[in-house]
Structures are given as structure tokens and as C-alpha cells.
Structure 1
Amino acid sequence: MFCYQCEQRGSDGGCTNMGVCGKNPEVASLQDLLTYLLRGLSVIAIEGRKHGIEDLEVDRFTAQALFATLTNVNFDPERFEQHLSRVVELREDLKKRVAAAGGPQSYTEASVNLTPLSGVPHAEQGALYGLLVDHSENDDIRSLQHTVLFGLRGVAAYADHARVLGQEDPEVYAFMHEGLAAIYKDLSLEDWVGLTLKVGEVNLKVMALLDAANTGAYGNPVPTEVPLGHKKGKAILVSGHDLKDMKELLEQTQGMGITVYTHGEMLPCHGYPELKKYPHFYGHYGTAWQNQRREFADFPGAILMTTNCIQKPTSYIENIFTTGRVGFPGAEHLKNGDFRAVIERAQALPGFAEDEDKGSVLTGFAHNAVLSVADKIIDAVKSGAIRHFFLVAGCDGAKPGRNYYTEFVEKVPEDCVVLTLACGKFRFFDKKLGDIGGIPRLLDIGQCNDAYSAIQIAVALAGAFDCGVNDLPLSMVLSWYEQKAVAVLLTLLHLGIQDIRLGPTLPEFLTPNVLQVLVDHYHIKPITTPDEDLKAILG
């Protein structure tokens, strides 16, 4: 195996024996084989569109299967075997229909014709189709090919989130196929740079769809104080990202004497009017995904894992349930929004023995909430009460160096405001930074899925000050871990955002030449120390 798609990659530039995330060589090879076959399916889908054939099942499957290959989503080889069977079925059916419509009768691309052999473990066959095989021999082009692939995985995740709530765009699916099939084309370095930025452009569209999906279904988030303690009694903990799963679980647990808590990126659920109205939806337990083994082991109830960010369950494996794209061998997978199994497990477990008060945190500062007080923010900036805004956001992780973000926020001057989103905030989400004229100095915008909100806030403020986003008193200090973060970073580059500070390390898949392009055109830079970076930003 070879994998370097996340920030946690091994010390030799990638994971070669076992993923730091816990992905074993079998799953890694199955993911590589699935990705290869999706490239072949994409070639047929592109030909289909040329001949008036658009297949929504093919489109949705492409997004779902790509999402399954994202870091910390699915570790279950059986589920990948099902994906492999399905991609071949869809490809062969679409191939016949395209041929009947006047399209090609045959194809030269190997992935269009490959059917995994029976009798030979698919993981062995997948080893032939890894990241270092069948990609450009030019290091810089291969770097951009992989950047496109990893970005598409992030786009696919956001697109699948939006689809669940009825928001889709055929142009997004068409671009996924375009990007996957592009590896077969003889593109110049300049063309690959353009395609990489196109990933960011399409991701912006997808994030807008997801924002519309979430707010359309559950209302615009409102500032909400969320308890960090717990109540006596039976309990269910929900982690991941999926709001629909949360809504359905809350409906199914009404009147049962079970308290529902959030974990990780589910924290912002407390700000949505259609979710917070349930009286048994109480508080937040724990911190970010990388701490779940300790936190889940101590939780005295059932645990529902939605979307992604799962780690290998330990002593609590009988208490954890998965749904959607997420999966792990030995953990029961629930389908079709039927959460009876997790409810029954919660009822069988002891729950919390007594109430506990551990304080609270604020969430719910999405773009609608922040822009509703834009006049106060603008006045505070003009008067000098607010000197600068810092967007300190992104994915958390387990590698050393991430304490930088805690120290950075602690050292931000008192006349500055910190905006945050995604699980990176758990490095400092419970810090009491006070307020400036009633405006909290720490504003939790939401999940990584809510990156669109941060962009909308920045664009609106730039409009109010009649300047560009890069001219605002705003600096972005980002942490990255997986492929959603790659997609968001590409969106920021597509928008022309300058001077982004990124850490704790830069992506391994960026060659020195590609990185230099980012430095030259966008002044992107690695984080250094909190003191040095604050001095460079504020002077």
C-alpha cells in the first residue's frame, strides 16, 4: 500500500505498511481498485452525456463511492467488495446504452474494460492500481493529479451530504467524472493547475448546496449555549456530521427517557431551530475525533457514528453503531434511518449515574447569525474596538504540533475576534475570551460542512467596507487533516484568497515546484510559532 492523502501520513512520506488512520493494506488496496474502476465508469459517463444519456444512479454512486475512500470513513472490506461489484454492473450497463445511442463500441482505457477476477482476492488485484501506478511520471503533474483526486473526494463528501437532504446539481456530478477521467488525458502542467482550481470552484457550488440543504431543512442556526456536562439517565452519543441522522434519531427517541448528546462536529447541531426544539437533546460530550477511543470508552450509553471520522473501536465496539458511508468491521451498520438497535442498546446500558455541570460553550454563529449584527461589527471595526479578525479553523488531528492553534488563540489580543469552524476548534472551543461590545470574541461558525458560512461572512464584510476580501482586517490560520480540507483550501484559492497560513505541516503530495506556485500566486505559507505569526500579521 501507499497512501499520503491525509496530514497524518507516515514518516517516510506516506503510509506503506499500515495507515496511521488504522487503514490496513487490504482496505487500502480495495480503495485503490475502486478508485481505478470509478475512473473507467467516469469515461463512460462522459460519453453518455455526449449522447444524451445521464444516469442519476451512476452520478450518486460515484459520489458515494468516492466518499467511502476518504480518510476515516469506511474500514470495512465487505462494504468495499459490494462497491466493486456495483461499479462494474453500472459501468457495463451504461456502456451498452451509450453504444446503442451511437457512442463508442469499444474503449482503449484499461479501467473501462477491467473486471476484477473471481478466485483472486480483490485486494491483491488492487495493489496494481495504487497512487504511484498509472499516473504521470512527471512529479509535478502527478502532484496535481493527486491534488485533484483528493479534492474530488472532499467534493464527493459534501455532495453526498447535500443529496441526503434533496440538494443536487448535475453539473457537479459531471465534473466529478471529468476530473476522474482526466488522468487518461495528456494535459500540460498549466492545464492541470486549471483543473485543480476548478475543483475549488465546483466545491464552492457544492458547499452552497449543502448550506441550502441544512438551513432549508432545519432553519438558520442561532447562537446557542450548549452544556458540556450531562444529565442522569440513559444516553446516546452522536458523532460525525449528518444532521438528518440526528433529526431522525431525536424523533425516534422522543418520550423514551433517553438523553441525546453530540460529539465532535455534531456540536453545531444545537444551533438549528428544528433540532434544538427536542427537550431530550441536551449537551455536548467530549472533543475532537482523535480522542474518541478514550471518550467513547468512558461513555455509559450507545454511540451512533454518522458520515466519517471513525477510529478503530476498542472495548466499546458493542456500543457503537455506524450509518451512511461510515463503517468498521465488527460495528453494527444501520440502514434507512432505522435506529432501533442503537436505542435498544442505550436502554440496556447504565447511562449516567448523576447530573454533572461542566460549564458550557457557544455555537450557532453561521452566516445568517453573524450578518444579522453586521452593523455592530462594522461600527466596532470603524471605531477601532475590533482591530482584526482571525479565522482559526480546519481539521484536528493527533500528530504533535497542533497545540500551536491553542496557543495562537490564547495569545490573540483582546481587541481581536476569532472565527472558527470544523473540529480544529476543539483545541480552544471552551476558552472564555469574553466579548467586544456584546460581540463574542470567539464565534463558532459550525462544522467543516459550514465553510460556506465563513466565505459568505467574509464576502459580505468586504462588500460593506467596499473592498476585496484580501483587504479586510482578516487573516486565515488553518489546520488540515483530510480531503474535505483539501477541497475547502482549493475553494479559497479559486476565490483568490491570499496569505493563508496552513499547518501543522504542508501536504506531502505537493511537490516543491507546485508549492512554489502557491507561494508565488497566493502567498500561502506554513505556520511558524504563534508569536511570530501574530507579529507578522498585526505588526
Structure 2
Amino acid sequence: MGNMFCFQCEQTAGCSGCTGAQGVCGKKEDTALLQDELTGALIGLARDFYGRDHGASADRVIIEGLFTTITNVNFDSEDIRRRIDAVRAERSRLTAAVAGEYDMNRLWRDDEDIRSLKSLILFGLRGMAAYAYHALVLGYTDGEVNNFFYKGLAVVGGTFGMDELLPVVMETGKVNLKCMELLDRANTETYGSPVPVTVPLTIEKGPFIVISGHDLRDLQLLLEQTRGKGINVYTHGEMLPAHAYPKLKEYPQLKGNFGTAWQNQQKEFKDIPAPVLFTTNCLMPVKDSYRDRVFTTEVVAYPDMVHIDEEKDFTPVIEKALELGGYAEDRVMTGINGGTQVTTGFAHGAVLGAADKVVEAVKSGAISHFFLVGGCDGAKPGRNYYTEFVKQAPKDSMILTLACGKYRFNDLDLGSIGGLPRIMDMGQCNDAYSAVRVASALAEAFGCGVNDLPLSIVLSWYEQKAVCVLLSLLSLGIKNIYIGPTLPAFLSQNVLNVLVEQFGISPISTPEEDLKKILNR
């Protein structure tokens, strides 16, 4: 292995790449290098079996391996070594290894345009693997999605030019849309279609558990095991939309939401009198003030933290909640803007259920424009842009939002139009599928293309799931997307020029300037 190099997240050092002893995310050099080794082993497995029968066991190894390498998921070098061994064992079991493992230094040192396009594919695959994993644990898989992991990894490890790589970049987005559809089906068929709900931010007195991440199955299992034990459960981060699923709402101990977005956890979890269970990203380096109460599960891991394995026995988490006891009195907490409650549950089923009302509001002029303002939140300065953008959006516009970027403004009260709140939280990042469904339905209702709608997309990005969502939007031909707070470091100038020329992608500037451009377009 060589020296650490990583530029897959928005906060990468100097907007160019993390090197040295530790990345901006807190990942140590040896851990980052092991993630590269894991990726190289996955590429070797994929090159062996792309286009050949590989079976469910190899599919799971690839999906879990890719998921492990997403930013803020796994900080545990020993766990990553075990996953490398699992990939190698899978190759040995299949007894058909014909190619060596890929050296990721070849990619990082490649021609910048080739590196850029291959990075778009690789990082898109990593994000898609998270969605595929969440569907997989609910018993839902898709052959086309699984097969593409092999193709995409094989392409990353191969020798191709720009003209050959660009179609694969677009295919990554197309297949990810299918993967998001698969996860949407898995979640709704298992837990019911989301229903709009108001979620309090107050934490009631007594023992409680905070559950963070995206995995609804982990939440369901925790709710089952805490039933009747006098322990309340609060969501955190991207688990917030879980409150909208009817089957999960049936559990009376699912009380509300704790805190705000992921990047505030080191402050918000300081001396918290309760355990925190991380089911997916985003886990940050753990501070001493709450080190003894952090638990991980799935592919999430951190050195010296208690990990809940596949048996899903949450007894250690429950015992810690009872030991710590929670707050002595109700604790009133607020969002970033001082609000004490938020709403969620405006997925495609809920919005399309009110489609007649929405269409009529547009035709009557009550609604002038739709803004999809969503994506990842993060700590780097400049993300207050999204709060100001929403505040300054015309009073007769609707704000659709999703993913953790909504925490910048989801506690604002912007009123309503025609009985619908102006801020409509569609869910987690994978619920970009809901936004696509709604946009397609509106376009059909008005007899036009999606790009002809009074709809503008303003994205914030941080990690790899935002990359695959962007690629999905581009694969649908959606144009004039605004992205920020900075452009990805892995986009070379030539690749950026292609995206600008073909899709009109723009970096954000100021809310005032961007709103002026959008509304005068």
C-alpha cells in the first residue's frame, strides 16, 4: 500500500484530497489504506465474475464491502481486515480467480479525466450499495442491480477512455434509480406507505435510546425488544422519516427526534444520559464524554465500541439505557432555527394522494414554483446558504426536501398553501425516488417534460449517496441542477465541462443571485 489519498467527500482537505496521518473525517491513514485494499479486493472479485454466475453470497460480500467504505461508516481497521478476508475467502470458494487484486494507487495516479469518471462510478456504486443493503436485509433484491456492481467495479479496474466511461457513469445513475425504487418497495411493503406526521423534539424524562442512521429494520427490532420496558426511543439524523411509517408508528415508545443533523453529534451527545445506536453513517469520531454509551451494528464500526452482531440482541443497549436513566425532567430541545417540532412523511404516496389539490394550486397561481432543496448536511462553512435560500424563496412557492440537509430549515414555520405545508419532507436520501415520482406525475398532469415544470433542484452534497442520487437525476435528463456548497474535488475540469454543457449543472453562488437566475429563466 502507498500513502493515504482520499477525496470522496465534500469536506476533503483543501478541496483537493486528504493525505497524511488522518483525513478530515477523522479516519486514520491505516484505516483509509485498508479501505483502499478492500476496494481493490472487491474489484478483483468483480473482474473474475462479471458476466458469470456468482451467487447470493458473493453479491452480499460486494454490497457490504462497498457500503463499508462510505464516509463516516467504519473507522475500525480490524473490522475492515476481516472484510478483506471475507472477499478473499469468497474468491477462493468460487475457485475461479483469474485476475489479481486491483491496486487503488493506479486509480489515484491515473490521468485526471479518467480518474474523475472512474471516481464518479466508484463513489456512485458505494452509495448505491447502502440502498441495496437496506433492501437486502428486508428480503428484497434485484438481479440487474446486483449484476451492475460487478460491471461497475470491473470498469473501474479496467482500461477505458472517456468515451467508454461516460455511458457507464450514466448507467450508474440509471441503475441506482432502480435500486432506490427497490428500497422504496421494500420499506413501504414492510412498514406501510409514509403518512405526514408532526414529530416533537422534546425528550421526555426517564430512560431512552437514540437510534441514528437509515436502517428501518434495526429500528423495528429495537422497538420490539424495548416493548414494555419503560424505555423511550428517539430517532436521530436520517432516521427521522421513520416516524411516518404506519407499522413503526404503532410502537408507543417511539416518541420523537433527538437533536439535529449528523455533524452536530459531538456537541449534542456530550454527556447524554442515554445510549446511542448507530445503524449506518454518519458516525463521527467518538468523544470521551459519551464514549461508554455508543453502540454500532451492521457495517458500522469504531474501535473499542460495543458492536451488535447479526443476531441483533440489543440487550447491552437496553441495559445501558436503564443504567443511565435518562433526564430527570422533560428536556425541551430545538432545531437549528429554534423550532420545537418538525414534520415528515411527504413521500410520493402522500403527495400524489393530494395531486389534484397541487395541480389546481398551480393552475390557479397559488403555487408559482417548486424547489427541491435537499441532500447532505455537513460542518464546512457555507451551508447556511440553504437556510437563507428557503427563507428567501417566494411565499407562493413550495419547498420539497429530503436527506439530512433538511435540518438547516425543517423547523421553520413557513406557513401553508391550500392546506399543504410549504416545507414538505419527503424522507431519507434514497427517497429522491419519491421526488422523481412526484416530478414525473406533475409533468404528465401538465403535458410537458420535467425540465419544463416550474421546478428547480438545489442540492447539498457530502458523501457518496449524494453522488449516486445526482447521477440518477442526470440519467433522467434533468437539467439546470444547482449543487454546493463546493463542487466535488474528483470532478476534473474537462468532466465538469461535459456536465455543464450537457446538463447545465451550476455551482451555487448566493441565495439572492441563484433565486434571481432561477425565477427569471
Q: TM-score, normalised by structure 2?
A: 0.96
Asked if the contact 2:107–2:115 (Cα under 8 Å) also holds between the matched residues in 1, the reply is no
2: CA distance, partners of 1:165 / 1:185: 33
Asked if the contact 2:212–2:277 (Cα under 8 Å) also holds between the matched residues in 1, the reply is yes
Alignment of 1:179-328 (within 5 A): 179-314=152-287, 315-328=289-302
1:334 aligned onto 2:299: no
Name structure 2 gaps, 5 residues minimum: 334-339
Name the residue aligned to 1:84: 84
Name the residue aligned to 1:126: none
Asked if the contact 1:200–1:492 (Cα under 8 Å) also holds between the matched residues in 2, the reply is yes
**Of the candidates 518, 527, 530, which is equivalent to residue 508 of structure 2?**
527
- Map Cα deviations across residues 249-291 of structure 1 (whole Å, 9 max, x no partner): 1111011111111111111111110111111110111000000
2: CA distance, partners of 1:12 / 1:461: 38
Equivalent AA in structure 1 for residue 314 of structure 2: F
In the TM superposition, residue 527 of structure 1 has moved relative to its aligned partner by: 0.3
Asked if the contact 2:5–2:108 (Cα under 8 Å) also holds between the matched residues in 1, the reply is no
Asked if the contact 1:135–1:183 (Cα under 8 Å) also holds between the matched residues in 2, the reply is no
**Of the candidates 507, 517, 521, which is equivalent to residue 536 of structure 1?**
517
| Secondary structure of the structure 1 residue equivalent to 2:101 | helix
| Secondary structure of the structure 1 residue equivalent to 2:400 | strand
Name the residue aligned to 1:29: 33
1:70 aligned onto 2:43: no
2: CA distance, partners of 1:136 / 1:312: 29
In the TM superposition, residue 355 of structure 1 has moved relative to its aligned partner by: 1.9
Equivalent AA in structure 2 for residue 91 of structure 1: R
Name the residue aligned to 2:9: 6
Name the residue aligned to 1:495: 476
Name the residue aligned to 2:337: none
Asked if the contact 1:406–1:428 (Cα under 8 Å) also holds between the matched residues in 2, the reply is yes
- Map Cα deviations across residues 422-449 of structure 1 (whole Å, 9 max, x no partner): 0000001100000012111000000112
2: CA distance, partners of 1:357 / 1:143: 46
Alignment of 1:452-491 (within 5 A): 452-491=433-472
Equivalent AA in structure 1 for residue 28 of structure 2: N
In the TM superposition, residue 136 of structure 1 has moved relative to its aligned partner by: 7.1
| Secondary structure of the structure 2 residue equivalent to 1:260 | strand
| Secondary structure of the structure 2 residue equivalent to 1:110 | coil
1: CA distance, partners of 2:514 / 2:214: 31
Asked if the contact 1:167–1:213 (Cα under 8 Å) also holds between the matched residues in 2, the reply is yes
In the TM superposition, residue 299 of structure 1 has moved relative to its aligned partner by: 2.4
Asked if the contact 1:219–1:272 (Cα under 8 Å) also holds between the matched residues in 2, the reply is yes
- Map Cα deviations across residues 160-190 of structure 1 (whole Å, 9 max, x no partner): 1110111101221211111111134332211
2: CA distance, partners of 1:209 / 1:439: 28
Change (3 A) 1:135 1:21: closer
Fraction of identical pairs, as percent: 56
Name the residue aligned to 2:403: 422
Name the residue aligned to 2:353: 372
2: CA distance, partners of 1:24 / 1:136: 21
1: CA distance, partners of 2:281 / 2:304: 16
2: CA distance, partners of 1:137 / 1:250: 48
Change (3 A) 1:323 1:59: same
Equivalent AA in structure 2 for residue 382 of structure 1: K
Alignment of 1:346-361 (within 5 A): 346-357=321-332, 359-361=340-342
In the TM superposition, residue 135 of structure 1 has moved relative to its aligned partner by: 6.1
- Map Cα deviations across residues 48-67 of structure 1 (whole Å, 9 max, x no partner): x1xxx331100111010010
Asked if the contact 1:469–1:497 (Cα under 8 Å) also holds between the matched residues in 2, the reply is yes
**Of the candidates 86, 101, 117, which is equivalent to residue 111 of structure 1?**
101
2: CA distance, partners of 1:414 / 1:283: 29
2: CA distance, partners of 1:145 / 1:246: 35
Name structure 1 gaps, 5 residues minimum: 99-105, 113-128
| Secondary structure of the structure 2 residue equivalent to 1:341 | helix
1: CA distance, partners of 2:506 / 2:65: 33
Equivalent AA in structure 2 for residue 26 of structure 1: D
Change (3 A) 1:134 1:485: closer
Q: TM-score, normalised by structure 1?
A: 0.92
Asked if the contact 2:122–2:156 (Cα under 8 Å) also holds between the matched residues in 1, the reply is no
Asked if the contact 2:352–2:438 (Cα under 8 Å) also holds between the matched residues in 1, the reply is yes
Equivalent AA in structure 2 for residue 72 of structure 1: N
Equivalent AA in structure 2 for residue 13 of structure 1: S
**Of the candidates 373, 377, 387, which is equivalent to residue 392 of structure 1?**
373
Change (3 A) 1:535 1:12: closer
1:449 aligned onto 2:430: yes
1: CA distance, partners of 2:251 / 2:296: 23
Asked if the contact 1:75–1:328 (Cα under 8 Å) also holds between the matched residues in 2, the reply is yes
Aligned alpha-carbon RMSD (Å): 1.3
In the TM superposition, residue 147 of structure 1 has moved relative to its aligned partner by: 1.1
1:433 aligned onto 2:414: yes
In the TM superposition, residue 317 of structure 1 has moved relative to its aligned partner by: 1.2
1:43 aligned onto 2:47: yes
1:58 aligned onto 2:64: no
**Of the candidates 115, 129, 137, which is equivalent to residue 156 of structure 1?**
129
1: CA distance, partners of 2:258 / 2:50: 46
- Map Cα deviations across residues 207-262 of structure 1 (whole Å, 9 max, x no partner): 00000010011000101011111111111001111100111111110111111111
In the TM superposition, residue 356 of structure 1 has moved relative to its aligned partner by: 3.8
2: CA distance, partners of 1:141 / 1:209: 31
| Secondary structure of the structure 2 residue equivalent to 1:419 | strand
| Secondary structure of the structure 2 residue equivalent to 1:391 | strand
In the TM superposition, residue 12 of structure 1 has moved relative to its aligned partner by: 6.0
**Of the candidates 387, 393, 397, which is equivalent to residue 412 of structure 1?**
393
| Secondary structure of the structure 2 residue equivalent to 1:181 | helix
Asked if the contact 2:121–2:156 (Cα under 8 Å) also holds between the matched residues in 1, the reply is no
Asked if the contact 2:15–2:489 (Cα under 8 Å) also holds between the matched residues in 1, the reply is no
1: CA distance, partners of 2:35 / 2:110: 22
| Secondary structure of the structure 2 residue equivalent to 1:236 | strand
Name the residue aligned to 2:382: 401
2: CA distance, partners of 1:54 / 1:354: 55
